Amino acid sequence: MFSPRLDGRVNRPHVKICGLKTEADIDAVLSRGSSQVGLVHFPPSPRHLSIEDMMRLRTHVGGRALVTVVTVDASDEDLHRITERVRPDILQLHGSESPVRAAEVSAITGVSLMKALSVSSEADLDAIARFRPFVDRILLDAKRPVGSALPGGNGVAFDWRILDAMGEDRDFTLSGGINVGNVAAVVARVQPRGLDVSSGVEREPGVKDIGMIHRFFDALDAAHDETLSPEPERRTA
């Protein structure tokens, strides 16, 4: 069973703020050390961007961070258009794509892949091993709530204790309901390699709040600094 490191030290996770839609949002997250920015190309989502808008924002990012484009069961035609015009560093497959489809996407695009897996029980973690040979990164997200048309960005978390079944394997990005109020607990309890945050820094669906972005990173930095603080020396009589 997974347990935190005995010395209390936790690596600061990589952070991807997803669903960014403006240059100001991008500048805010990059100013705080975010290693990835996420652009969503899925029309039902309030965070959806056209190819042209993604191209503009991709140019704005330049080489300051990795650019991830989130797709949901995209067609070959859409994948070609995204890779040729937007030139993302990573394609995130956030639909019902199978391992076979992931292999096809890899062959079609030649782009690094992240596969999002919906989790609600330990049994759902079995899919990780099936996808690892075909993708470069795994993202674990909560299952969509009843009535939601969105596979992600719903602002709900799953029971992190499920992840104890993975032992010491922390090689995944955690998503689902992460916000300023619980990021310290995520860092201390789960210790994922990466965090994916979207609705947790929004004032309404699809609208990022720069103040919330800064408060989130303040909380993350404070949580990380706390794990690195040495214990006070014990005095002996």
pLDDT for 144 = 66
User: Cα 96–102–106 angle (5° rounding)?
Assistant: 145
Helix (H, G, I), strand (E, B) or coil at 71: strand
**Domains of the chain in sequence order:** 14-228 (3.20.20.70)
Q: Return d(Cα 50, Cα 40) in angstroms, integer.
A: 9
Instruction: Give the whole-angstrom CA distance, residue 150 versus residue 45.
Output: 7
Give the contacts of 11 (CB within 8 A, at least 6 positions apart).
191
Choosing from 18, 89, 126, 196, which is the catalytic residue? Answer: 18
Annotation says 141 is catalytic: yes
Catalytic pick from 141, 196, 218, 225?
A: 141
The Cα 32–Cα 112 span in angstroms is: 24
Q: What pLDDT, on a 0 to 100 scale, did the predictor assign at position 224? A: 74
| pTM > 0.75 | yes
Q: Running along the chain, 237 residues long, what does each successive block of 10 average in pLDDT?
A: 43 92 97 95 96 98 97 97 98 96 97 96 96 97 62 69 93 94 92 95 96 96 68 47
Beta-bridge mates of residue 139 = 116, 173
Q: Is 169 a catalytic residue?
A: no
